[in-house]
Structure 1
């Protein structure tokens, strides 16, 4: 099987006064595992239903390999949908559930037998083919639904929050199965979820949606490490985010190549520089945040600064930065330590401002980490300028 390219061409949809989709425009590549990610009500399921043919857009087109499928019923689109509810027939065996669409097409029994066994083997359910759905686990029922969708050999498989009804361990296991299945059959997967960890785990690319808009499209690495907006930075994983003002921007040779070193005045972290056009007006005792950026930013520009908790180092002793000027160092007190097994989360109240900064410490060689950091300890937190990120739009 080969997947189709799917182009969403300026699609809009309203329900009364509610704008579900606002001029959505992007292309999903052939054979790609593409995820629509966002909170409830962001428009992702509406967009999936339009791609599937269960809804029609008010404006725009949906193209499968350059053919506009708007107006075509779902069974004419070379796509199949796996629903959150599985939608299996309870009175039929697993075999007959998977065979159902072939029976409707009056396919001969030998072909039905061959194809059903093939797709049950693909989802590793051959030994359960004569059971009823109520004799299966939730994960097994979901795999039956996937096999039933795949037996029609669609070019696009649409997955509408297919794992949300499962427990955390089963979700994790089925994600691996979905990824393996995608690699094996090579068709286009369009996956809808509100769970950012699911999206990061399996996607080739992710479209982050909110309030009917697509805010960013990129690989998991791109949307996590280089968020385009404050919403994306806060929705994908956990982060520390502060409103700031650009004090200075100058050329800088970073590890990743030529970039800019940006000096930020960030009041939440204790910065009180006066932006008079003379950057020397900053009081020496008021440290500014240093961050590298790919683009030039103007002095006085309002931006947001974000630093992921796992990028921050926490120590009981003041770190020796060996004369490096690109390391940000702050002193604070452990407000709350949270042990989670593979890591500890610390909520640090900064000495100057009382601002809370989240820090995640991975337990790699726990016994070699030195004295355990505890509640009310005075600590130092530090991070490299290259680990922070500037988000230029301030969202109110």
Structure 2
């Protein structure tokens, strides 16, 4: 099967005075696993329903390849939808549920039987083919719904939070199955979720939405490592976010020799930098500004936001050794709350300014984790310039 290219062409939608979608405009590539990610009320499900044909936009069109599908009924759009609620017929077996649409089309019995068994096998339910929905687990029911949606060979599969009713372990397993199915059949998947870990795990690209707008579209790596706005930085994973002002911005070469810029930021919430292990008494007294690699060459005096992920921060009981590097940022504080969570520990460190900063430290068997850091310890938190990121639009 081949997936369609889906173009959302300046789509807007209101419900009364409420703006659900405001001039949404992007293209999903053929065969792409594309996620619409955002909090409740952001417009992601409304957009999916417009693509499916269950809602009509006030403005704009939706194209499958080059064909405007807005005038078409849902069953004429070469798309199928998998819902959060499984919508299975309770009196029918797995086989009968999957076969239902083919029987409506009066497909010959032998051909129907072969195709139903093929799709039941695809979702790994061969041993449950004669069971009714009340004999299946939640994950198995959702597999039936997926098989029923795929058996019509749509070019686009729409998935409206299909895993949200399942427990965490079932969600993880079914997510792997969805990724495998997508790789096997190659059609376009459009996946709606509020769960950023789901979107990061399976998507080729993600559109992050909020308040009826698309704030950023990119690969999971781009969305996580290079958030475009404060909202994206905070919604995708955990982060530390600070208001800042650009003091200077000069040309710079990164660790790979590529050209970019080095910005110097004033961040009152972080306060004065702590001394490095290599600092002399004189240099330790300097009020060093914070440095960050800047790919956009922001202007001196510009108000920005600075974000640094907790796992990018190093935490030590002594001033860090930097090997002579001058682009390391170091601050000191007191551990307010250490939390052990198995594979990692989370530390909430109160800086000397009173600001709390989050640090995640992963536990490894092959590295010396050093002395155990405990509650009320004086610690040093540090990161290199390339590990943080400037978010220019501090209002979104």
2:376 matches 1:376: yes
Aligned to 2:389: 389
Instruction: Give SS of 2:269's match.
Output: helix
Q: Any unmatched runs of 5+ in structure 1?
A: 273-282
TM-score in terms of structure 1 length:
0.96
Compute the displacement of 1:82 (Å): 0.2
Aligned to 2:8: 8
Compute the displacement of 1:129 (Å): 0.7
Aligned to 2:28: 28
Cα RMSD after superposing both structures: 1.3
Distance 2:364 2:260 in 1: 32
Compute the displacement of 1:71 (Å): 1.7
Aligned to 1:250: 250
Compute the displacement of 1:365 (Å): 2.2
Alpha carbons 2:272, 2:331 under 8 Å: kept = no
Distance 1:370 1:245 in 2: 36
Q: Any unmatched runs of 5+ in structure 2?
A: 274-283
Compute the displacement of 1:293 (Å): 1.1
Alpha carbons 1:50, 1:57 under 8 Å: kept = yes
Label 1:338 to 1:299 Cα distance change in 2 as closer, same or farther (>3 A). Answer: same
Compute the displacement of 1:127 (Å): 1.0
Q: Deviations over 1:74-98 (max 9, x none)?
A: 0000000000001000010000000
Residues 38-49 of structure 1 mapped to structure 2, 5 A cutoff: 38-49=38-49
Q: Deviations over 1:214-252 (max 9, x none)?
A: 000000000000000000000000000000000000011
Residues 84-123 of structure 1 mapped to structure 2, 5 A cutoff: 84-123=84-123
Compute the displacement of 1:367 (Å): 7.7
Aligned to 1:154: 154
Moved more, 142-151 or 364-373: 364-373
Distance 1:33 1:322 in 2: 43
Distance 1:334 1:238 in 2: 18
Compute the displacement of 1:345 (Å): 0.4
Alpha carbons 1:41, 1:211 under 8 Å: kept = yes
Q: Deviations over 1:91-133 (max 9, x none)?
A: 1000000000001111111111001000000000011010000
Runs of 4+ in 1 over 3 A off after TM superposition: none
Alpha carbons 1:247, 1:299 under 8 Å: kept = yes
Distance 1:5 1:364 in 2: 44
Distance 1:366 1:38 in 2: 38
Instruction: Give SS of 1:269's match.
Output: coil
TM-score in terms of structure 2 length:
0.96
